[in-house]
Structure 1
């Protein structure tokens, strides 16, 4: 085990202090920062070294590439080595996941940048690789949700790889002497966000995962495992970096647009009929071999009898008419869900599905009928499609329970129930007033993209134990380029968290500059840098915004290179201003001693 890898604990930690492994790393990093400040002609003692956090907002691939371009120039100007924490939301976490693959990446960013651009502009992950990864998630995870689908079908289309390393594995290659900033990935608790109670801010570091403001954490390697009353009961394997990127980056657009994208991607994946039937044949052969040998693999024992007794054994050949009919029903069901979203007539699809289900079982008494509230064709709208889809899937599940058919029906159920980021709740039934009751009540919690609440990870670095003096906020958001900092200020005021006043000059939301400074008494200083602005884009800000929208397909090599350059200009053009505020942070820290 690497010295920097956390010691695994099966207990929940409820206290506001930093994890001891993080604290040790930060001590080493601060020593490294001191040497970097001296190279920049900034004289200070070890105690005067300011704690500087770099934030990357969400924004899909635009944020990923924008953060990459910014990091490259921060390294060239010598400023990257002054950063203590690097925290991201959504698309920025995709960049973080990529750069932290490389040991001590901050010293080799130019080469790493070229490597990442080549990958991002290269070929997509193949269907067979996607199928194999989906199968792993489906069988190895306790809770299968749309986040797993999103990882395999959407995230891979942008990042062009399946990264199966875990966060703790990735971090183990980084030395303890502080050669890189400490990474913090952020998501939110869906229920806390929707009910506006409890603590929605959830952070994931190489050592711990938990609620930032509540101060309730579990070892990162145990996030997803089953806990009861603060103690681990069942271990689940640590999630990999592909899943982490999906967990952090699942809010590319509004819900309707996401649903359209997902339904189409699911349809495209399962339209590979030969692959689907081939996988079914493999699964059936494996089950028969296990049954004949009396050897049931992990997780398969309780399901195997059902898999071998499907109600119509003579028709379980993957090439049988019944299997083909079931395949067509599921394809039509996806078309019906897509048509419902776009407002198209679904009556013909409904009639075909009903006929197919009846024909499949007309030898039975009574035959299978599609019934239940909200199933009439003229009522198949966005509201009752949920019940309709679940009805169809439940009926088909009794017929075919082989991979990938069983996963397919589960995916459709997840789509209609809109289940994202479901994991065991490590705070289930814990005791103590420190944890809000809403976080103790349920056995599971759902986590989602923090951009759905605040598109920048302010609350991960605003934990008072991190003692942040200076925040550099790189904003890659779509829409109002100041929304994140304004919302952070508003929320901090409500929660009594020190944060400077934020006043934006009139007209700057439409035509921003490239550097904004917010200061206050006994608050961290905040530097806010919008991606597209008058300085790096001139009078073509709107053209840049239209060229790089959040909800669009992956960028080509030219688009990526151009975006890396324009984002980098924000650092080059503001090097002196950034240095000035770092000097000021040193002075403020010294005056408080």
Structure 2
């Protein structure tokens, strides 16, 4: 399709709230080129003529099908349109024409759905054709025959034309994956006219109610109530934010009139004004209606081209600033531990990351030991990142309350955690706590959050791990990294979708003290704004930042499981269940055959499942509870070339990636669950090329198989084309794991060096510290039953004895200290590669 880029200027990926106008540098100090642009892009007129259908199969038992076609093009209009119904006919003819104004840089996919009209029951959905408008050429008219069923010779005939449209081009902002379009703000005001009061006239108590609706706007419907007895009354204006070129309409219901019976109606009552907004003059106060008792005024103005969502795939300004500051700690620490003679230059300093897995209280406890071991080796100061999920996020959020935790001895932190791990937990279900939970949930709901059982779980965690209410928030952790004094924490979750298994649909979400974002779309918001309401990248309603206990509940939402997840615990394939749960999507023939360009989608046919299939799918995929937060991608549209974008392709792994109308930007809420429901790893943020991680210390705390999550990560990275070292373990090693493995990634240039620490009890049984054997009286302390049937370290255990806690902490520390040589080897390898790369 012809492009409409008349004006194009580079725009920094940060908005003014995130550092607009700042020259951005990458981690090597070189100026980078921002990928987000503000452009002036043409709109086109799309004409669709629904002509006829042939050989439609009989949907009713006693009669032929009563057919009509529904047209849905969400990128161009907020309304669904439909043809008239042709009754009792297998070869219906409509010959109806519809018009849409489309944005040339947006992926416009038209959905043509054929229905059978039923009077008593719900209309039968026969099929839907998905047609990519990018197939059409400007200035040409084509008549398409969609072959919906070759055996029955069912087909749908539709005519298309794409033409230039008069008027100025539209200003858009895009990062090559998402597009933010021009939005306007409409103000509507009711002014009641003066009335002459008669002597001795009593006050009237009647009121007048006005209802206003802009379909597809952020606000939706708003009402104004005016008293009719005042000498003069003027309402406060109601506001609507809407996409200017999506054919929006202001629908007004005047006092005494009926509300609109249908969302698709355009005129509801005679005398009730309805206005097409895309042609409304900007900045002028217009009179919509005049009456003896009142006047209606409206004024529309363009909103500034400023986004509160950061569109971009590079690191935010704050993280880049942190990297510069952290290097001042890392370089001398590496020089010390590696016993180098000369200082490390910036380009010679590797980025080291500590990566953890989940495992409930077991992972919380063992991580303390691992970090204490790294601290004793002075390796903790060499780390730039620390990532976590599930139980390790509890440890991390505890640590980062202290702005200088990694610069101190960890004994105090470990002792504090010990107190809470060993205390009686029954008090968390006391009447006093239950009243507290209810009060907090009511307050959270009143603030504007959408509450669920996961929020209650977060409050229970707060009572298990703290004394009283914890007011700590994720943004408070900025104090712990503002000087680069600690590794930058990254917490992970996955965004899922209703009616889909986690394997079929999941999107990585990362949380830092600075931002929350979906790396697949290159969309990030300030952590203080996460949970607030957004529209087309603009902050519409500020909601108070969540206390971190609610995030901990979401990061470790063990209640978000479904039947398919339970099935996957014992099987490696969903093939059997996919027969019942996956959508039936087929590529179909079209006549004439239009040439397929790289960025265009094949024409496809969706056949809906029957009632039994739908019920079974819901039973298999519905999750017990999901944490929901307002979707900051709401309103964005997908760029016409999003499937060719290298950033999107890196994380493109869901069954809906080629269905742009159904991706996350169309959802009201993000549905966030524990990352462990896909892979028990927090490694994905570290594999972003922009972070340039050179060494990863993989601290595994999984139950059962210690190698499963690593194998799954390798497989995933291989499928996605993400650089990752090859994990080559012999059968003997898999049966009898050692304490540490080094995978240097030599066979995969560009991959990080990986140090893998499974949580096992090997030489710790005989040695209390490396090189020092246990005495007979100390042998009992080496008996740490991690995974036996009577183990105290079950993932679902919430209370340990003091001995069990101490032994697990000591084991985590020992396994680090006992593999000092491998850690040093990995760091030496990374430094050597950095030097070689610069040469």
Normalising by structure 1, what TM-score?
Answer: 0.68
Query: Which of 58, 67, 70 lines up with 2:358 in the alignment?
Result: 58
Range with bigger deviation, 76-85 or 570-579: 570-579
CA apart distance, 1:158: 5.0
Per residue, is there more strand in 1 or in 2? 2
Query: Which of 566, 571, 575 lines up with 2:811 in the alignment?
Result: 566
Rounded to whole Å, the distance in 2 between the matches of 1:543 and 1:114 is 22
Contact 2:494 2:509 in 1 (8 A): yes
Q: 1:571 to 1:170 in 2, by over 3 A?
A: same
2:317 aligned with 1:17 = no
Rounded to whole Å, the distance in 1 between the matches of 2:784 and 2:801 is 20
Task: Give the secondary structure class of the aligned counterpart of 1:163.
Answer: coil
Aligned to 1:216: 523
CA apart distance, 1:559: 1.7
2:330 aligned with 1:33 = yes
Rounded to whole Å, the distance in 2 between the matches of 1:478 and 1:130 is 30
Rounded to whole Å, the distance in 1 between the matches of 2:490 and 2:328 is 20
Contact 1:72 1:113 in 2 (8 A): no
Rounded to whole Å, the distance in 1 between the matches of 2:440 and 2:739 is 42
Contact 2:525 2:632 in 1 (8 A): yes
Rounded to whole Å, the distance in 2 between the matches of 1:183 and 1:571 is 20
Contact 1:58 1:91 in 2 (8 A): yes
Aligned to 2:367: 67
Which string of whole-angstrom CA distances, capped at 9 and with x for unpartnered residues, describes residues 230-289 of structure 1?
A: 111111111111011111111289658x99xxxxxxxxxxxxxxxxxxxxxxxxxxxxxx
Rounded to whole Å, the distance in 2 between the matches of 1:154 and 1:114 is 18
2:471 aligned with 1:179 = no
Aligned to 1:276: none
Rounded to whole Å, the distance in 2 between the matches of 1:70 and 1:64 is 10
Range with bigger deviation, 499-508 or 29-38: 499-508
| Equivalent runs, 1:103-502 vs 2, <5 Å | 103-108=403-408, 109-122=410-423, 124=425, 125=428, 126-154=433-461, 156-157=463-464, 162-171=469-478, 173-174=479-480, 176-191=482-497, 194=501, 196=503, 200-251=507-558, 418-433=624-639, 434=642, 437=660, 438-502=663-727
Q: Which runs of 5+ in 1 are unaligned?
A: 260-382, 388-415
Contact 1:513 1:535 in 2 (8 A): no
2:786 aligned with 1:544 = yes
Contact 1:77 1:572 in 2 (8 A): yes
Rounded to whole Å, the distance in 1 between the matches of 2:320 and 2:763 is 39
Rounded to whole Å, the distance in 2 between the matches of 1:549 and 1:252 is 16
Task: Give the secondary structure class of the aligned counterpart of 1:567.
Answer: helix
Contact 2:401 2:480 in 1 (8 A): no
2:383 aligned with 1:76 = no
2:755 aligned with 1:527 = yes
Aligned to 2:261: none
Structure with the greater relative contact order (CA < 8 A, sep ≥ 6): 1 or 2?
Answer: 1
Task: Give the secondary structure class of the aligned counterpart of 2:785.
Answer: helix
Normalising by structure 2, what TM-score?
Answer: 0.49
Contact 1:252 1:550 in 2 (8 A): no
Q: 1:510 to 1:551 in 2, by over 3 A?
A: farther
Q: 1:76 to 1:32 in 2, by over 3 A?
A: same
Q: CA RMSD in A?
A: 3.1
Rounded to whole Å, the distance in 2 between the matches of 1:250 and 1:161 is 21
Q: What is the number of residues matched between the two proteins?
A: 437
Per residue, is there more helix in 1 or in 2? 1
Task: Give the secondary structure class of the aligned counterpart of 1:21.
Answer: helix
User: Which protein shows a greater Rg?
Assistant: 2
CA apart distance, 1:85: 0.1
CA apart distance, 1:202: 0.6
Q: 1:524 to 1:569 in 2, by over 3 A?
A: same
Q: Which runs of 5+ in 2 are unaligned?
A: 1-16, 21-305, 567-614, 643-647, 649-656, 767-778
Rounded to whole Å, the distance in 2 between the matches of 1:543 and 1:474 is 18
Rounded to whole Å, the distance in 2 between the matches of 1:21 and 1:545 is 42
Rounded to whole Å, the distance in 1 between the matches of 2:455 and 2:559 is 16
CA apart distance, 1:134: 3.2
CA apart distance, 1:46: 2.2
